[in-house]
Amino acid sequence: MKLYTYDPAPNPRRLALFMQHKGIEIESQQIDMMSAEQLGDAYRAINPEATVPALVLDDGTVLTEVVGICTYLEELYPEKPLLGTSALEKAQVISWDHKLFLGLMMSIASMLRNRSDAFRDRALPGALDVPQIPELVNRGQLQLQDFLPKLDAHLANNTWLAGDNMTFADIDLLVSVDFMAWVKQSIPEDCVNLKAWYARASAQLN
C-alpha cells in the first residue's frame, strides 16, 4: 500500500489522526498542495480526482475518500476501533461523519475557497475549475452559527459525539474546529460543552 497525502490539509489530517491513534504506519508520499502538485499530470495519473489523500492498494485499486480509506484500514487493523463496534455505534459514527463533513467541513471550505484570492477559479477542491461565489462566504458563516450551538447541546449530555467512546466522529470534529481558524472563526464563548469536549479530544488525539 502507498498513501499520497499532504499533512497540513484538513482531509489528510482526518486520516493521519485515525492512523496515529491506531498505530498504523504506511509508506507515504507528500503531494505539495502549495505548489499545486495535486493538479499535475503525475498525480492525476494516480488519482484523477486530483485530491488528497489517496491510498493505492497493492492490487492497484485507488481509494480517494477519507471515510472509505478509514473503513478499509479499520478492517485490516481492528485494534482500538474508531468506527464503532455495535451495529448502533457504527451507524452513529458514520452518521456524524456524514453530518460533520457536509455541515461543518464543507461550510468552512466554502468560506475559505470563495473569498480568498489564492482560490480564484478554484472554488471547489479537485480537478474542476469553477469561479468563486462570494455569497457562499455568508452562507457558510450562517451554517456555522447554526451548527455549533447544536453540537454544544449534544455534548452537554455526551462525553463523545457517537456513543460512549472516542471515535472517528470526534476526529472529524477536532479537525473541523481547527480548520475554523483558517477562516478566523473559533468556538463561541457560550459553547462551554463544545469547549470542554475540545480539550478532552485534543488530549486524546494530539
Ligand X SMILES: N[C@@H](CCC(=O)N[C@@H](CS)C(=O)NCC(=O)O)C(=O)O
Residue ranges in contact with ligand X by CB under 6 A: 9-11, 38, 50-52, 65-66, 125-126
Residue closer to ligand X, measured from CB, 51 or 185:
51
> Could you identify the residue written with the cell 473503513?
71
CB of 159 to ligand X, least distance (A): 26
Q: Residue 5: how many CA atoms within 13 Å on its side-chain side? A: 23
CA distance 130 to 64: 21
Rounded to an integer, what distance in angstroms lies between the CA atom of residue 100 and that of residue 102? 6
In the complex with ligand X, the residue whose CB is nearer, 68 or 78, is 68
For residue 100, the minimal CB distance to ligand X (Å) is 11
Minimal distance, residue 155 CB to ligand X, in Å = 24
Nearer to ligand X, 54 or 148 (CB): 54
Query: Which stretches does DSSP call E strand in the chain?
Result: 2-5, 28-30, 54-56, 62-63
Residues 173 and 161 sit within 8 Å (Cβ to Cβ): yes
Give the residue with the Cβ less far from ligand X, 27 or 121: 121
* In the complex, minimum distance from the CB of residue 50 to ligand X, in angstroms, rounded to a whole number: 6
Residues listed for the chain? 206
